[in-house]
Amino acid sequence: MWTWFHRLASPPTFYRLADRYSPWLAVLSLLLIGYGLVGGLWLAPPDYQQGDAFRIIYVHVPAAWLSLSGYVAMAAAAAVAIIWRIKLAECVVVAIAPVGASFTALALITGMLWGKPMWGKYWVWDARLTSELVLLFLYLGVLGLNRAFEDPRAGARACGLLALVGVVNVPIVHYSVEWWNSLHQGSTVSRIGKPAIAASMLWPLLSMTFGCMAFFGWAVLRRVQNDVLLRERRSTWVAALLGERKAAGHV
């Protein structure tokens, strides 16, 4: 097991695997997001209370879910980077931050757009909204720290420490609806028992969620590849890779 783990953590091995599988993730994300948008925006019936305004969940829910799961993945990569000092894990931390920040901002914006017709205001200092905003600041903090250091390894370690400290906010965001008197509605899909949503609405939502997951993975893999190439640009394997690309006519 550990041999496989260290082999995957090798920059040249990871780069070639990412180059092989990232196009499949891109195609999968296009198919799933395409079906999710068509099914959610046109085929699903209007909600009996919210009407067509509910359709924003097909963007809001996947974005909100990935804002949390992306931060957990970033914190896990930070732990690996700090404990085992694996350079590839440092690249993963730095790569996830802008993608996670984008999904977090999307979750906040779509939540505000939904809140206007439902609550009468674009923004209220609700527990869920406030803790999600803190999550965005944590992502942006990681991005800022990474750019504040000239040494990429020192910057990545600082980013990792912030990611590990900030992970305490993830359960606060997730359980804020249950812990406090929140205006935000409770869970309808991940609840224990039967989801409180019709199948015609549920399947497009699940398709959008998995499609956004595939897109998230594709974006992170490509960013990690770029960071690996930048760090290893003087390595022999990068020179060999460039030679292969030139021979194949790709450069």
Write out the chain in H/E/C secondary structure.
CHHHHHHHCCHHHHHHHHHHHHHHHHHHHHHHHHHHHHHHHHHCCCECCCEHHHHHHHHHHHHHHHHHHHHHHHHHHHHHHHHHCCHHHHHHHHHHHHHHHHHHHHHHHHHHHHHHHHHCCCCCCCHHHHHHHHHHHHHHHHHHHHHHCCCHHHHHHHHHHHHHHHCCHHHHHHHHHHHCCCCCCCCCCCCCCCCCCCHHHHHHHHHHHHHHHHHHHHHHHHHHHHHHHHHCCCCHHHHHHHHHHHHCCCC
pLDDT value of position 123: 85
Q: What is the CA 89 to chain-centroid distance, rounded?
A: 16
Domain assignment present for 109: yes
For the chain, the average pLDDT equals 89
pTM as predicted: 0.90
* Residue 223 scores a pLDDT above 60: yes
Compute the distance between CA of residue 81 and CA of residue 92 in angstroms, rounded to an integer. Answer: 9
151-182: b (≥16 Cβ within 10 Å) or e = ebeebbbbbbebbbebbebbebbbebbeeeeb
Contact 141, 88 (CB under 8 A): no
| Residue 230 belongs to domain with CATH number | 1.20.120
* Residue 181 scores a pLDDT above 70: no
Domain assignment present for 10: no
* Residue 231 scores a pLDDT above 60: yes
Compute the distance between CA of residue 64 and CA of residue 57 in angstroms, rounded to an integer. Answer: 10
* Residue 194 scores a pLDDT above 80: no
Domain assignment present for 49: yes
Domain assignment present for 15: no
How far is CA 24 from each of CA 18, 91, 117, 148, 205, rounded to the nearest angstrom?
Answer: 10, 22, 39, 35, 21
Domain assignment present for 81: yes
Domains identified in the chain, total number: 1
What's the pLDDT band for 190 if we cut at 50, 70, 90?
low
Residue of 135, 124, 134, 132 whose CA lies nearest to 183: 124
Domain assignment present for 2: no
* Residue 192 scores a pLDDT above 50: no
For residue 186, give its domain range.
Answer: 21-247
* Residue 228 scores a pLDDT above 90: yes
Domain assignment present for 242: yes
Domain assignment present for 5: no
Find the range with the poorest average confidence among 77-81, 156-160, 180-184, 234-238.
Answer: 180-184
Find the range with the poorest average confidence among 101-110, 184-193, 226-235.
Answer: 184-193
